[in-house]
Structure 1
């Protein structure tokens, strides 16, 4: 797949601080959220993860899309719409968080 086929840019880095309203995430984890601005249900991961559906309830049980992410891994994490690292859709730098396009699920992720 050509790099120009990516559908989402990297989420901009922030100061790493979560607001009181969202982005709750354990240190050393990559978190995905069912709501905008780090709200809603959260699933925490330590990459690499070949299939997020195995452990993420809001994707497995509800089929919800991922609307926001937070990266507290200490390195850039890239994510994919397909399991087993297929169809790369974006990445988030260390200590970055933000909203995504909201029209897909993150089905796998790994260190970039």
Structure 2
């Protein structure tokens, strides 16, 4: 009987351990998401663009709700580098364009969100949606 009892106890322990596995994974994923958001250094109220993936590289940020020409004060755009990631810390969705003066819309990002882009274009202007 002791062998059967030990087997039952071991089975219950194993089942209990498996039941907590997904919870740990979900916690890890949430932690990774929070870490990703923390990687995007963007001051509240600003729209930020980055020369590298995941908010890395050179950052340009604007507190203005719209910018007709980002090259006016963004060094990596002036050097011809593409935008690889964005973060929108404003209170509104931001639309962005590959040309100055709000021409050739390429995308938009909701308030409080961001992430990686295709990385094969520059954001040359932006405004609220």
- Asked if TM exceeds 0.5, the reply is yes
**For structure 1, which runs of at least 5 residues remain unmatched after alignment?**
1-13
Alignment partners' CA distance in 2, 1:18 and 1:29: 15
Q: Which residue of structure 1 aligns with residue 77 of structure 2?
A: 59
TM-score (structure 1 length as normaliser): 0.81
Superposed CA deviations along residues 23-75 of structure 1, whole A, max 9, x for unmatched, are: 10110000000000001000001221000000101111x21000000001111
Alignment partners' CA distance in 2, 1:47 and 1:40: 23
Structure with a larger share of its residues in helix = 2
Higher relative contact order (CA 8 A, sep 6+): 1
TM-score (structure 2 length as normaliser): 0.70
Count, aligned residues: 95
- Larger Rg over CA atoms: 2
**For structure 2, which runs of at least 5 residues remain unmatched after alignment?**
1-32
Alignment partners' CA distance in 1, 2:65 and 2:53: 22
RMSD of aligned C-alpha atoms?
1.4
